[in-house]
Structure 1
Amino acid sequence: MLNILLIEDEFIITKDLETQLSKNNYANIDSAKNYKNAIRLFTENDYDIIIADINLNDEKDGIEIISELAKFKIVPVVYLTAYSDSEIIKRAQKTLPFAYILKPYNNQQLKATIDLAILNSKKDSIFLEETLNENPKLDLLTKREKEILVVLATGKMSREIAEILTISVGTVEQHKKNIKKKLDLNTVGELVNFTMTTKLLKI
């Protein structure tokens, strides 16, 4: 069972998430509606993931709270937001969240995102050891191409991959084309499946 810290100040949304995510013993949810509650819960418990609303009626918004929590421990974050404002997203990106879920959210999509975030957090590093590679086709790839495959397999988009690896989006797209050609694969889904069947991911 996952332990999730939910930072949300809307009562109805909090109750809905608690109900949906606790079904079938999927997760245990601790809820905080403001900065003080979030800090207290976070320092007293261990969490697998944080789900945080960006817009809170509090002294600090969700982005500021996540920035403070990161000073204690790095935990994967999924942001909930009713807005896709570029400035808000730009601020949020500095905290390196796994994903953004726009309200109204889809419960299945949310669970899938949580699962991918947990998978992502279990990797020791996006940098790979050659000794872990078993598939001969991996010898065709450069270290950078392998890094891109790993991040791609966790559900990241090209823009997010570029930010994580500190390269341009254009460079990411070119690498993806090269990888597809080398592996004789055509879609992102095929690349993800290939990655999951190798030891590129340290899970």
Structure 2
Amino acid sequence: MTNLKKRILVVEDNIVMADDLSNTLMKLGYEVLEPAITYSEAIKALEKEVLDLVILDINLGTKKTGVDVANYIKKNLNLPFIFLTSFTDIRTLELAKATVPYAYLVKPYQEIDIMVALEIALSNFQKLASNNTIDAERQIPDFTSMETVVLKKIAENLTTKQMATELFISESTVKNHRHNICQKLALPSSNNSLLTWVLNNKQHL
């Protein structure tokens, strides 16, 4: 199996179901983060963690739904997600389809359903990322020498503070370089977006 070390976030407001799904995922060999039970918890995890896939319930018991989380991912991150929900009505399906998920599973699910959906989702995403990397290689902008250094430090997972110390520059200077890099790449300014790009393209830096 190709799921070793793949990190998954479960977004599910029902704690019992979240724990059950997490246990299933760990049994299948995935690394599972603490489940997010609300939209805000999901966003905090997405901003903080480096993930390989997100599993979303649609109804999170609040005004903000799993579809809203999916839209956030689409706008800010390069990350595959699937829906796992009990909702099958036409309106919900249309809202979910608009986010272009990698799968849509209906509860109750079988372990084999989860296994197959995740394997296919991760495989398809990897193929897409590979194609995007080839395109990106052809379109990598001209970075300044210091921007290239900053990108390499990002690839080493250094924080802004650590980079400033190591490069003998101020944190604000590092932030300016990061901002300029994001501008050149047309990326949103979130840390994970730039980190994801670097991890996908570090061999070209």
Query: Do both share a fold (TM > 0.5)?
Result: yes
Is 1:5–1:29's contact at 8 Å kept on the other side of the alignment?
yes
Shift in Å at residue 63 of structure 1? 0.3
**Structure 2 counterpart of 1:43, one-letter code:** E
Farther-moved stretch of structure 1 (105-114 vs 26-35): 26-35
- Structure 2, unmatched stretches of 5+, are 136-205
Q: Aligned equivalents of 1:112 and 1:40: distance in 2?
A: 28
Matched with 1:48 is: 52
Which secondary structure state, in structure 1, belongs to the residue aligned with residue 105 of structure 2? strand
Which secondary structure state, in structure 1, belongs to the residue aligned with residue 17 of structure 2? helix
TM-score (normalizing by structure 1): 0.59
Q: How many pairs were matched up?
A: 128
Which secondary structure state, in structure 2, belongs to the residue aligned with residue 57 of structure 1? coil
The correspondence of residues 8-47 of structure 1 with structure 2, limited to 5 A, is 8-23=12-27, 25-47=29-51
Which secondary structure state, in structure 2, belongs to the residue aligned with residue 51 of structure 1? strand
Once superposed, what is the RMSD of the aligned Cα atoms? Answer: 1.9
Structure in which a larger fraction of residues adopt helix: 2
1:114 aligned onto 2:86: no
Q: Among residues 128, 131, 146, which one is paired with 1:125 in the alignment?
A: 131
**Structure 2 counterpart of 1:25, one-letter code:** G
Is 1:82–1:102's contact at 8 Å kept on the other side of the alignment?
yes
Which secondary structure state, in structure 1, belongs to the residue aligned with residue 32 of structure 2? strand
Q: Aligned equivalents of 1:63 and 1:3: distance in 2?
A: 21
Q: Aligned equivalents of 1:70 and 1:30: distance in 2?
A: 22
Q: Aligned equivalents of 1:80 and 1:43: distance in 2?
A: 22
Q: Which stretches of structure 1, 4 residues or longer, exceed 3 Å deviation after superposition? A: none
Matched with 2:193 is: none
Q: Aligned equivalents of 1:80 and 1:24: distance in 2?
A: 17
% identical aligned pairs: 29
Which structure ranks higher in relative contact order (CA pairs < 8 Å, sequence separation ≥ 6)? 2
> CA 1:84–1:19 in structure 2 vs 1: closer, same or farther (change >3 Å)?
same
Q: Aligned equivalents of 2:100 and 2:75: distance in 1?
A: 13
Which secondary structure state, in structure 1, belongs to the residue aligned with residue 34 of structure 2? strand
Q: Among residues 88, 104, 107, which one is paired with 1:103 in the alignment?
A: 107
Q: Deviations over 1:180-199 (max 9, x none)?
A: xxxxxxxxxxxxxxxxxxxx
Is 2:71–2:99's contact at 8 Å kept on the other side of the alignment?
yes
TM-score (normalizing by structure 2): 0.58
- Structure 1, unmatched stretches of 5+, are 130-203
Matched with 1:68 is: 72
Matched with 2:178 is: none
Shift in Å at residue 93 of structure 1? 1.0
> CA 1:44–1:90 in structure 2 vs 1: closer, same or farther (change >3 Å)?
same
